[in-house]
Amino acid sequence: MKTIHIIGSNEQRVYHDNFKPYQCKTSEVLPKMYNGGFNDYHFCDTVNFTFANMPLIPKYYANSTIEQETDNYKWYSCTIQLTDITGHTISGCYYITFDKKANKFISENVDFS
């Protein structure tokens, strides 16, 4: 299993109104990906991600200014663009959940499909 350490930044690049990813880097080489059908991409190798300095952008309900939050949890998400040491970039969504009762972040993941 390959471990990729993703280092985030608060730098946001605006390509157009619907694509404003936060720039992230890794010191690893990203493994090849394949199209599983209907543009659903997956890594050819098993990959484990670790994160550092990722932006905490509250997740909102669709077409709303209301943050997704319950009594127990608060959700954060943002679009990221990951660049490896060879200059290859991929885009995806970063998700993290904050457990209010335990006062810690849980369920941190990224989706590059």
Q: Evaluate if residue 12 carries a pLDDT over 90.
A: yes
Confidence of residue 47 (pLDDT cuts 50, 70, 90): very high
pLDDT at 57 over 90: yes
76-102 tens-digit pLDDT: 999 999 999 999 999 999 999 999 999
The number of beta carbons lying within 10 Å of the beta carbon of residue 66 is: 8
Q: Which residues pair with 34 in a beta bridge?
A: 42
Rounded-to-integer distance, Cα 57 and Cα 96, Å = 10
Evaluate whether 22 touches 67 at the Cβ level (below 8 Å). no
pTM for this entry? 0.90
State residue 55's pLDDT score: 93
